Amino acid sequence: MFSGIVEEMGAIQKIEKGLAGAKFSILASVILDDLQVGDSVSVSGACLTVTKIEGQSFSVDVSTETLNCTIFGQITVGTPVNLERAMKLNARMGGHMVTGHVDGIGALRAREQDGNAIYLTVEAPEDIMRYCVAKGSITIDGISLTINAVKDRSFAVAIIPHTAKVTTMGLKQIGDAVNLESDLIGKYVERLLQANGTLPPPPSPVIDKDYLQKRGLL
């Protein structure tokens, strides 16, 4: 479990891809302080397990499912990533409860300066938009952010100068893809309401070429 408060920006040092997934080597500094093999780390919003620590880097294995459902399928060496160690239960919790289980990929559609902040509009899939509410929480590339406005196909967030400086959001440009995780509480509320009949069950997915490609079946 994470809080969505990024500890540092690292960078992809090496990528080894195979038929069964991939292995990433990631440059870091701050989070290496007490990191151990087997620990969970949020890498731009995806919870990954540390498999090796060597010098100023650590390695993680990335499954085919994760490559298909996150921006990691298109990531390249040198790409900056947001890093956060699993939170401690005896520490203050900023942000919100983040599992590190990415729900889908969004795309940055607008970037505007708004006073000292950057106002970002993100297009998101329907199955993520249904959990988006104004003043609610959303995780973008592992960053806990507050939703400012919601439209049919997109939501907006404001990035303060500190967040722009210490995370990858300050580097994102229009058209860039981002990892998205919906607020966990909304998912549980929806599931409970569906179980007692207050809400209809979610619609069955349309099995088409796009659906199969996203899951690595084509």
pLDDT of residue 145: 97
Complete domains list, the chain, with CATH: 8-85 (2.40.30.20), 104-195 (2.40.30.20)
Of residues 98, 108, 57, the one with CA closest to residue 81 = 57
Model confidence, pTM:
0.87
Size of the chain, expressed as the number of residues it contains:
218
How high is the mean pLDDT of the chain?
91
Query: In angstroms, how far apart are the furthest CA atoms of the chain?
Result: 54
Q: What is the dihedral of CA 186, 125, 40, 78, to 10 degrees?
A: -150
Measure the CA–CA gap between 4 and 94, rounded to whole angstroms: 8
Identity at 193, one-letter amino acid code = L
Question: Average pLDDT in the 51-67 region?
Answer: 96
Res. 211: pLDDT tops 70: no
Nearest C-alpha neighbor of 145 from the set 48, 7, 1, 5: 5
Residue 83 near residue 9, CB atoms below 8 Å: yes
Across 88-92, average pLDDT = 84
What's residue 208's pLDDT? Answer: 66
